[in-house]
Amino acid sequence: MSVNEKIDISIVVPLYNEEESLPELHDWIVRVMTEYAFSYEIIFVNDGSTDKSWEVIELLQTKDGNVRGIKFQRNYGKSAALHVGFQATNGEVVITMDADLQDSPDEIPELYRMITEEKFDLVSGWKKKRYDPLSKTIPTKIYNGVNRMMSGIKLHDMNCGLKAYRKEVVKSIEIFGEMHRYIPVIAKAAGFPKIGEKVVQHQERKYGVTKFGLNRFVNGFLDLFTITFITRFGKKPMHFFGLIGTLFFLLGAGIAGWLIINKLFIDTGAKLIADRTEFYIALTAIILGTQLFLAGFIAELIGRNSATRNSYLIEKEI
């Protein structure tokens, strides 16, 4: 199949040390694609694996012309793997899934139908029944609850690796750092608000070990605050820093003004202003307010010189 040929489905599989599961996952995907007569490509993105994953991908490619492989020099993370995989896709619908066999390729036809017939921009899987340990499921539930509250996107499983996208979505968004957890938030901010959800089957891990750790849980919450700020104030940072800075400054100036008036006209015998606790509260508020306002001003100057300051997604042009 030609790399530039338009096809029905592109399946992007980021992976790290999954040599045992790859042949079985490939055969499973091919079986589903053949049954439903989809034209397809499978893009394996090897994220710096230290096992024989790349050798397995090369072998699969020699047997199946629909297989493509991308190999990183070192481990960059899932976000980098997805970003590069998205750029390489040719399919009208893009499916992402993990390589550990916990995502079922049998879900692909229905995900494809929801994108093409129900016109969703993005459909996220929901692993309603999970086969993960409590050390993973409990933090995941907390994380998803906070995510729904902050993002306004009503998904039960924001970080599910099994997702489907319209081609325009993956070609319009940029994923960096560890922001793969927040692809629905990024897509919504880019102008793709029709986001759906589908209950999907979750398989028990058959090979290898989970890559989940408590550090991912902590980092996930930190990234949530980052992406929330970027999507809301990335183009107008002064609206955030300037507002809070102004409030702090006015609070401090108000307290300082009251202290001066009180000393000069009301209680002239009171102790010196510099000896009062309120004075230091006022001084701190004024300094914080000034610093926050300047931070917003500097952010605006940086934004004016950004290469993406006028990058807008045009849906149609006639």
Question: pLDDT by residue (tens digit) across 254-275?
Answer: 999 998 888 888 877 777 888 8
The mean pLDDT of 212-236, rounded to a whole number, is 64
Q: Over 80: is that where the pLDDT of 224 sits?
A: no
pLDDT, position 169: 95
d(C-alpha 297, C-alpha 275), whole Å: 34
pLDDT, position 310: 47
Summary mean pLDDT of the chain: 84
How far are the Cα atoms of 66, 100, 141, 147, 214 from residue 137, in angstroms, in the given order? 35, 17, 6, 15, 12
d(C-alpha 137, C-alpha 221), whole Å: 15
Sorting pLDDT into bands at 50, 70 and 90, what band is 318?
A: very low
The mean pLDDT of 18-37, rounded to a whole number, is 95
304 or 7: which leads in pLDDT:
7
d(C-alpha 278, C-alpha 266), whole Å: 16
| Residue that has been written with the tokens 């902050």 in this structure | 150
232 or 67: which leads in pLDDT:
67
CA-based nearest residue to 152, from 98, 195, 108: 195
The mean pLDDT of 303-318, rounded to a whole number, is 54
d(C-alpha 276, C-alpha 40), whole Å: 74
pLDDT in tens, 132-158: 666 666 767 777 777 777 777 888 888
